[in-house]
Amino acid sequence: MDFDRLIAAKDLTPKQAAGFSFWAQPLAEALRQDAKEHMRPLIVALAGPPCSSKALFADFLAKALGDSGCPALHVRVRDFRLSKHARERLCETVHPLFAYPGQLGTHDTGELERILLALRANSLTQPLHIPSFDRAYDVRHAFSKWTVVNTLPRVVLVSGWTLGAVAQEDVALNQPVNDLERERDPDQKWRRATNNMARDHYQPLYGLFDRWVYSKPPSWDAVCQWNQRDHEVWIKRMSDRGVQLSDEQRQGGEIFSQLSQRFALESVARLSRKSDYVLTLDADRRITSFARTRND
């Protein structure tokens, strides 16, 4: 995708796009050098709290890598979301809070793992089909709209806020971190279910990543504001298209920050120190610095 098409597709002003493009250059060069150490594709996790522009930045990073002669593929964890129908089964068997999409425990991590293992190979024996999720209708897009990978890239960028989430000690679950946990999960059933999912379904993926890039927010309040702002924009866009949204989709912006808070806050503290590369964001989600934290 060329620069002008990327701006149009992401609904950015040229100034906003120039900022992302500027900071993508040094990270692309660092990852291009990292990729030389591997006979297979370099698998890179782009982590950070919800709405910290990980996926958007990954698109600019993929373009910068490609322009430098290092083909890159961007895989979004959100495209592996469970559909509304699948989440309804979780609501019936585990907890009603699983009605809300995008939270920890609502992704097909088994398929994501299969895709990443295939991308870590030295060659593809057959085309690889990567799913695409239709957020408006809460279901996967038709197979014809999936991404088809016929040749392996040199770098695979995987973006998602759940990357890096780890299970907490049982005692840490006793104290609610917000009103949602206090009022809608008084018996800790939802907390313990998501904690088990972090341990059993997400943590096994982390050994597949060669590098970690973390988007560090200025505060949790800023993350909540970003989430609410993005959700309001999305609701208006869907309304303009005439899409009828479910109550969970409409209300999701109001409670998603609380659904993600426990694991996202823990990740902020841990991954901002342990990632290979850190991008620092200001209150307006502009990248203000790039740091390489890994010592070779």
> 84 lies in a domain?
no
> 132 lies in a domain?
no
- The dihedrals phi and psi of 278, each to the nearest 5 degrees, come to -130, 130
pTM: 0.94
- Mean pLDDT of the 76-97 span: 96
d(CA 62, CA 20): 12
Distance between first and last Cα of the chain: 33
Tens-digit pLDDT profile for residues 163-211: 999 999 999 999 999 999 999 999 999 999 999 999 999 999 999 999 9
> 218 lies in a domain?
yes
Residue the block writes with tokens 């009103």:
179
> 188 lies in a domain?
yes
Number of domains in the chain: 1
> 111 lies in a domain?
no
Tens-digit pLDDT profile for residues 73-84: 999 999 999 999
Domain extent for 242: 3-79+153-280
Q: Which residues pair with 290 in a beta bridge?
A: 279
- Mean pLDDT of the 210-220 span: 96
> 210 lies in a domain?
yes
> 253 lies in a domain?
yes
Show the CA angle centred on residue 153, arms to residues 72 and 55, nearest 5°: 30
pLDDT recorded at residue 11? 64
> 137 lies in a domain?
no
pLDDT recorded at residue 125? 86
Q: Supply the CATH number for residue 172's domain.
A: 3.40.50.300
pLDDT at 111 over 90: yes
